[in-house]
Amino acid sequence: MILSLVLIEGKNVDQGDLRISLGSAKQLVVGKAEGFGVILHIAAQSPADLGIALQKLAQVKNVTGVLTLALRPPQ
């Protein structure tokens, strides 16, 4: 399993809109980063699954960017 903290950038990003199906990855909203967006914790089965999840999140309404803040590779 690969774990990541991700900043979802954008003004007026609704946390509820980020609760989408990510296939083999699961997300947990950590909180709002005022002036930046929303921070998510994502757990994925593989790096490829994480990449797919990030692409899906980038397509959510009002999202202007997706930035990986921390990454913990599979152990």
Name the band, by pLDDT with cuts 50, 70 and 90, for residue 73: confident
pLDDT, residue 38, reads 94
Pick the CATH number of 2-72 from 3.30.1460, 3.30.70, 1.20.120, 1.20.950: 3.30.70
Output 75 or 8, whichever has higher pLDDT: 8
The model's pLDDT over 11-28, given as tens digits with 9 standing for 90+, comes to 889 889 999 999 899 999
DSSP string, 2-62: EEEEEEEE-TT--GGGG---BTTEEEEEEEEETTTEEEEEEEESSHHHHHHHHHHHHTSTT
Domain spans, the chain: 2-72
Asked if residues 57 and 7 have their Cβ atoms less than 8 Å apart, the reply is no
